[in-house]
Structure 1
């Protein structure tokens, strides 16, 4: 038996047209998918992509395809699905690492990312460092220095959007129109990590979030920006291909209860009915 975990993401710190194409830097948070791989009969109700990852690994290592019928996948995750929290990436990445261990193999981050991208657009939560990543082809991987500590009040919307549906949207023109903004956001993010500045990280995320409004607008966004300013928060991050929003803060200096109250007062009740207090964490898949 082998167990591995991978974190969720509160949307992306930045996402858009960067260095000549669409790329992202995910925002890993302390909410995990845990996958256990063992010998046994496959469960009747499996998430299709986790089985696809097992089958892909067998082909990658030139093992008999029939071996898949002897591998059981137990996926334990409460990460909201289809809301931009990298739930699918967490599932398949944890599955890959747990399966590798079960079969006596190892996966480095580059190989893991390539395997995940072969199945679907992949969040950069598969990397331990904050990483600028080409989530479609996996050809760009630029790691940042360790980021500053940041807490996040995650606002969960009832709205859902499948990643595949987002990527079918006509969005390239809007992304390219915001390329200069995203270049500034990327430069700010790198500087934020170098200087361990939560304020600069928040500025980078906010620039990207504002640009994202031209592609996938979030309801009540102007009111949330006002709360960021009124409460002197670090900034705002959004799921560029989903519905969640995160308010970036420090629980030692910001009154989370007051901020939560402002969100309830200044936005429609049905827009953000659920809130979660999380923190940004190191990414990557961990064997347990």
Structure 2
């Protein structure tokens, strides 16, 4: 038996047209999918893509395909599905690493990313370092220094969107039209990590969130930006292919209860009926 867990995300710090293709830097948070792989029969509750990645890992290490039929997958996760929180990436990345561990093998991050992308577009939460990642072709472009310490007030919408549905849209022209903003956001993100400057990180994320409105608009976006200004928060993350939003803050400096009160006593509460205070964490499968 072997276990692994991978963090979810509060959307992305940035996502858009950077360096000739669409790329992203995920915002990993302290919510996790935990997967256990052991000898045994397939469980009826298994998720299809977790079984698919298990089979690919077995094949990658040269084991007979029949071996996969004798492995069981168990998942423990409270990460909402279809909200842009990298739930599927967390599930399949944790499954891949747990499978490798069960086989007494080691998966490096580049191989893990390549295997996951064969299943679906993949978030960069599977990397230990903040990574600018081509989530469609598994190209790792650059890694950053660790991000400055950060909390987020995660706002969950009732809306769901499958990642593959988002990627079926014709998006290239709109993405390319915001290339300059995303290039600036990427440079700001790198500076924020080098200087451990949360303000710069917030500027980068907000630039990307504003550009994303043309592709997948978030409701009450002007009001959300108003909260950033009113409470002097760092910025805003969004799920560029989902529905969650994150207000970037420090609960020791910002009045979370007052922010929550304002959300719950406004039209924003209908759009984002659930709110959670979460911490940004390092990525990577544990």
Instruction: Give the TM-score category using the shorter length.
Output: over 0.9
| CA drift at 1:266 | 3.6
| CA drift at 1:277 | 0.5
| CA drift at 1:59 | 1.4
Q: What SS class does the counterpart of residue 117 from structure 1 fall into?
A: helix
- Inter-partner Cα distance in structure 1 for 2:127 and 2:171: 26
Q: Is the 8 A contact 1:223 1:267 kept in 2?
A: no
Q: Does 1:11 align with 2:11?
A: yes
- Inter-partner Cα distance in structure 2 for 1:268 and 1:28: 24
- Inter-partner Cα distance in structure 2 for 1:166 and 1:279: 27
Over residues 16-72 of structure 1, what are the superposed CA-to-partner deviations in whole Å (9 max), with x where a residue is unaligned? 000111000000000000000111111012100000011111211121111111101
- Inter-partner Cα distance in structure 2 for 1:249 and 1:84: 20
> What is residue 60 of structure 2 aligned with on the other side?
60
| CA drift at 1:262 | 1.9
Q: Is the 8 A contact 1:224 1:263 kept in 2?
A: no
> What is residue 104 of structure 2 aligned with on the other side?
104
- Inter-partner Cα distance in structure 2 for 1:110 and 1:140: 8
| CA drift at 1:264 | 2.2
Q: Is the 8 A contact 1:11 1:240 kept in 2?
A: yes
> What is residue 85 of structure 2 aligned with on the other side?
85
> What is residue 113 of structure 2 aligned with on the other side?
113
| CA drift at 1:168 | 0.7
> What is residue 148 of structure 1 aligned with on the other side?
148
Q: Within 5 A, what are the aligned runs for 1:232-251?
A: 232-251=232-251
Let me know the Cα RMSD of the aligned residues: 0.8
Over residues 69-116 of structure 1, what are the superposed CA-to-partner deviations in whole Å (9 max), with x where a residue is unaligned? 110100111100000000000000000111001011001111111111
- Inter-partner Cα distance in structure 2 for 1:213 and 1:170: 15
> What is residue 215 of structure 2 aligned with on the other side?
215
- Inter-partner Cα distance in structure 1 for 2:149 and 2:269: 30
Unaligned segments of structure 1, at least 5 residues: none
- Inter-partner Cα distance in structure 2 for 1:212 and 1:259: 24
- Inter-partner Cα distance in structure 1 for 2:215 and 2:267: 21
Unaligned segments of structure 2, at least 5 residues: none
Over residues 113-168 of structure 1, what are the superposed CA-to-partner deviations in whole Å (9 max), with x where a residue is unaligned? 11111111000001001100000001233100011000000000000000000001
- Inter-partner Cα distance in structure 2 for 1:23 and 1:161: 19
> What is residue 75 of structure 1 aligned with on the other side?
75
Q: What SS class does the counterpart of residue 98 from structure 2 fall into?
A: helix
> What is residue 199 of structure 2 aligned with on the other side?
199
Q: What SS class does the counterpart of residue 8 from structure 2 fall into?
A: strand
- Inter-partner Cα distance in structure 1 for 2:121 and 2:268: 32
- Inter-partner Cα distance in structure 2 for 1:87 and 1:141: 23
- Inter-partner Cα distance in structure 2 for 1:264 and 1:222: 16
> What is residue 279 of structure 1 aligned with on the other side?
279
- Inter-partner Cα distance in structure 2 for 1:231 and 1:160: 29
- TM-score, scaled relative to structure 1: 0.98
Q: What SS class does the counterpart of residue 8 from structure 1 fall into?
A: strand
Q: What SS class does the counterpart of residue 9 from structure 2 fall into?
A: strand
Q: What SS class does the counterpart of residue 160 from structure 1 fall into?
A: coil
- Inter-partner Cα distance in structure 2 for 1:234 and 1:266: 21
